[in-house]
Chains A and B, each alone.
Chain A
Amino acid sequence: MPRVFSDYRFYGLLIALLAMLLVFITPNTLAKQPIYNLTIIVDITRSMNAMDYQQGDKAVSRLTYVKQSLHELLATLPCQSKVSLGVFTERRSTLLFQPIEVCTGFNEIDASLAALDWRSAWAADSRIAQGLKQTLDSLKNSDSTLVFMTDGQEAPPVNPRYAIDFSALATKKKGLIVGVGGLQAVPIPKFNEKGESIGFYSADDVPHRSSFGESNLNPETIEGYDARNAPFGKAAVSGTEHLSALQESYLQQIASAVGFHYSRLTDTASLKQALQDAQIATLKTVPIDRRWQFATLALSLLMCVYLLPHCQRFTFKYFTKFRRA
């Protein structure tokens, strides 16, 4: 038998070489990783201008805060995830683009996100329930998951007679409604034609009750009812529709009817948590690089080859000393 076979260093080198061959034979291991495909619809109606979020020590509008949180969320989404961005106003939403992969398209998505503006609203109503319904319909054939971010303020108020029956909307698809804003009602900033701030909406600026169609009440109970001239009664109504707060119970009610998860936007971490809680990620098998395991093995074996002789010499000396003593 050649003498080399009795040397452990030969085996060290041999096994290290075999380990390195494995680097090229099976470089990857398969693992499951959560991948998202999100269609994020952001409410850009006027009430989203209400300033009830804090950034540092500055008060910022709901829309600004949503944009900031989404910007931070975008950076944390795993590669291969896709994001599509859309805006909601009036009674429907529109998509800016179909889902784009987040790692290659980060700059593009981020720039579009930064450009979201309440002035892009093509009409002024805020019919959230109808908007959600229309959005769900348009996403019927898509494999993207809806994330709807709104403060839940219907403007003008909904006539209960024509309220949307959400149980009809219930889908098997998962989704997320994110409530934006504070629970305390705050005034809504008002802007002139040139986009300059001119104070806040006052009680006289907005309708406080729906005057569309017929009232849901029994005409006999309506004060000053006149079928032709005053189907909602003659009395002036006052209300607090010029103030805006997050309509959390309303959104929760819609979410549970549709089968969506509801979460309030408090910070980016809460948004990330909501995505996890809503279980909208699909687990995708992705290859994970495991070459380092073999390389580390090879390196340790090499260390044995080069270090052990020194150790041996040391132990040899130690033992001989010990024996002599």
Chain B
Amino acid sequence: MTLAVESPYWLLAVLLALLPLFNTAMRTNPYPYTVLIPADALSTAIVWGIRCLSAATIIALVLGLAGLHQTEQIQERIGYGANIVLLIDRSNSMDTNFIGKTPEGGEESKAAAARRLLTGFVQKRPHDRIGMAAYSTAPLFVLPLTENKPAIQAAIDATALPALAYTHISKGLGMALSFFDQTAMTGSRIVLLVSDGAAVIDHDSDTALRQLFKQHNVRLYWIFLRTASSQSLFEPPKDSRDDNAQAMPERYLHQFFSSLDIPYQAYEAENPDAMQKAITDINRLEQSPLHYQERVPKQDLSTACYRAATLGLLLLLAVKCCEVKR
């Protein structure tokens, strides 16, 4: 516990607490010869009690004025959560619905479905640190890993705006992995990729990504928002001539991820319900203990000081009223 004050100069006024040593604020009665009065321990104690009370009242007032507070604390706790980087596809096709058309009437675009479900996901996971990156042709850093839920929500909400351009997934993955560069980080590390398509990963990026995934010890979840017309991740094509990365980038990306030798899970979400299932799954699986730091905000103690001062004044006034006429 660390105490601090807002305006330290007020603390000089603490010296005023010495004043009651010279004066008890009580009326003194002239007495012919005080030496004659026998020493009385009780009386002395009462006098000093009144002095201390006065001094305490003054100190409480001064501390209240100085703005005494307890500084922001960081407490280490253990909870269930993870470091999650949401990697969001902002390519144009995300603005279409699950059958590849512009949404009409009450239909939901893939981006809107992703947004709705991610919102629910974030709310269900109170202790996660969540960051966000987006990609289309180029990667876009959105939000660092943070516990600030309103900020995460603000970033998820911003994906409501129209999407950008094409899909350049390897740069996006590189950006997402760079979130884990800071080494001191406990708990599992997760990249949650939400996309509706893939692109070929070139040879250079292939090697670099393999190394990064290993190095950062990352788990990967891919929510593939499959449009009805596109190919499945898991089935080989009917025509073997189509079995290449150019014709089926999604299937090849899936193979690339599977070959990374990291915990990896792909979900084909063909409609909003399937995506819900994927998110529930992740929610259930990623419950390993995580050391996380909880910020206990600065606590104002001036109210307590003022309360003490008021009580002191009340007592002093009561004592004052106990004065008797000689």
B241 within 8 A of partner (CB): no
> Once bound together, how far apart are the Cα atoms of A217 and B309, in whole Å?
84
Query: Which of B22, B58, B144, B154 has the most CB atoms of chain A within a 10 A radius of its CB?
Result: B154
Cβ contacts under 8 Å, A109 to chain B:
151
Q: Identify the closest chain A residue to B324 (Cβ).
A: A3
Interface SS of chain B: helix
A295 touches B320 (CB 8 A): no
Instruction: Mark the stretch among B73-81, B251-259, B280-288, B311-319 that contacts chain A.
Output: B311-319
Q: Which one of B141, B144, B316 contacts A117 once the chains associate, using CB atoms below 8 Å? A: B141
18 sample A-B contacts, Cβ–Cβ < 8 Å, listed by A number = A9-B27, A13-B316, A94-B164, A95-B161, A96-B155, A97-B157, A98-B157, A99-B154, A104-B148, A108-B148, A112-B142, A120-B138, A120-B141, A123-B165, A291-B302, A295-B65, A299-B65, A302-B61
Cβ contacts under 8 Å, B61 to chain A:
295, 298-299, 302
Beyond A9-B25, A10-B320, A299-B62, 16 additional contacts (C-beta under 8 Å) are A2-B325, A3-B325, A9-B27, A13-B317, A20-B313, A96-B141, A98-B157, A100-B154, A107-B144, A108-B146, A122-B140, A123-B137, A138-B162, A295-B306, A299-B65, A306-B20
Cβ contacts under 8 Å, B23 to chain A:
306-307, 309-310
Q: A111-B144, A295-B64 are in contact. Are A120 and B323 (CB under 8 A)?
A: no
B97 within 8 A of partner (CB): no
Cβ contacts under 8 Å, B155 to chain A:
96-98
A30 within 8 A of partner (CB): no
> Once bound together, how far apart are the Cα atoms of A199 and B140, in whole Å?
25
B310 touches A17 (CB 8 A): yes
A101 within 8 A of partner (CB): yes
Q: A23-B306, A24-B306 are in contact. Are A105 and B158 (CB under 8 A)?
A: no
Q: How far is the CB of A291 from chain B (nearest CB, A)?
A: 6
B90 within 8 A of partner (CB): yes
Cβ contacts under 8 Å, A117 to chain B:
141
A4 touches B313 (CB 8 A): no
Total residue contacts A-B, CB cutoff 8 A: 155
B90 touches A94 (CB 8 A): yes
> Once bound together, how far apart are the Cα atoms of A24 and B305, in whole Å?
12
Q: Which one of B54, B65, B148, B161 contacts A94 once the chains associate, using CB atoms below 8 Å? A: B161
Q: How far is the CB of A151 from chain B (nearest CB, A)?
A: 20
B320 touches A292 (CB 8 A): no
Q: How far is the CB of B269 from chain A (nearest CB, A)?
A: 24
Cβ contacts under 8 Å, A305 to chain B:
25
B320 touches A20 (CB 8 A): no
B136 within 8 A of partner (CB): yes
> Once bound together, how far apart are the Cα atoms of A305 and B144, in whole Å?
57
B266 within 8 A of partner (CB): no
Q: Which one of B62, B65, B138, B141 contacts A112 once the chains associate, using CB atoms below 8 Å? A: B141
Q: How far is the CB of B115 from chain A (nearest CB, A)?
A: 12
A87 within 8 A of partner (CB): yes
Q: How far is the CB of B198 from chain A (nearest CB, A)?
A: 17
Q: Which one of A10, A17, A138 contacts B161 once the chains associate, using CB atoms below 8 Å? A: A138
Number of interface residues of B (CB under 8 A): 51
Q: Identify the closest chain B residue to A123 (Cβ).
A: B165
Q: A20-B309, A95-B158 are in contact. Are A105 and B22 (CB under 8 A)?
A: no
Q: Which one of B19, B25, B140 contacts A96 once the chains associate, using CB atoms below 8 Å? A: B140
Q: How far is the CB of B70 from chain A (nearest CB, A)?
A: 17
From residue 144 to 173 of chain B, which have CB atoms closer than 8 A to chain A?
A: 144, 146, 148, 150-151, 154-155, 157-158, 161-162, 164-166
B143 touches A112 (CB 8 A): yes
Cβ contacts under 8 Å, B187 to chain A:
none
A4 touches B320 (CB 8 A): yes
B310 touches A23 (CB 8 A): yes
Residues on A close to B: CB < 8 A?
2-4, 7, 9-10, 13-14, 16-17, 20-21, 23-24, 84, 87, 92, 94-101, 104-105, 107-109, 111-112, 115-117, 119-123, 138, 291-292, 295-296, 298-299, 302-303, 305-307, 309-310
Q: Identify the closest chain A residue to B13 (Cβ).
A: A299
For the complex of A and B, the 5 pairs showing the least CB-CB separation, nearest first, are A115-B141, A111-B144, A97-B155, A306-B19, A20-B310
Cβ contacts under 8 Å, B313 to chain A:
13, 16-17, 20, 298, 302
Query: Which of A2, A84, A92, A299 has the most CB atoms of chain B within a 10 A radius of its CB?
Result: A299
Cβ contacts under 8 Å, A98 to chain B:
154-155, 157-158
B25 touches A104 (CB 8 A): no
Q: Which one of A92, A121, A299 contacts B58 once the chains associate, using CB atoms below 8 Å? A: A299
Cβ contacts under 8 Å, B148 to chain A:
100, 104-105, 107-108
> Once bound together, how far apart are the Cα atoms of A296 and B65, in whole Å?
8
> Once bound together, how far apart are the Cα atoms of A107 and B16, in whole Å?
42
> Once bound together, how far apart are the Cα atoms of A95 and B316, in whole Å?
61
A21 touches B310 (CB 8 A): yes
> Once bound together, how far apart are the Cα atoms of A2 and B138, in whole Å?
86
B144 touches A108 (CB 8 A): yes
Cβ contacts under 8 Å, A112 to chain B:
141-144
Q: Which one of B22, B64, B136 contacts A310 once the chains associate, using CB atoms below 8 Å? A: B22
Q: How far is the CB of B4 from chain A (nearest CB, A)?
A: 17
Q: Which one of B19, B27, B157, B307 contacts A303 once the chains associate, using CB atoms below 8 Å? A: B19
> Once bound together, how far apart are the Cα atoms of A96 and B132, in whole Å?
9
Q: A13-B317, A120-B140, A302-B58 are in contact. Are A3 and B323 (CB under 8 A)?
A: yes
Q: Identify the closest chain B residue to A101 (Cβ).
A: B150
Query: Which of A10, A21, A87, A302 has the most CB atoms of chain B within a 10 A radius of its CB?
Result: A302
Cβ contacts under 8 Å, A105 to chain B:
148, 150-151, 154
Q: Identify the closest chain B residue to A17 (Cβ).
A: B313
Cβ contacts under 8 Å, A13 to chain B:
25, 313, 316-317, 320
B57 within 8 A of partner (CB): yes
Cβ contacts under 8 Å, A299 to chain B:
13, 16, 58, 61-62, 65
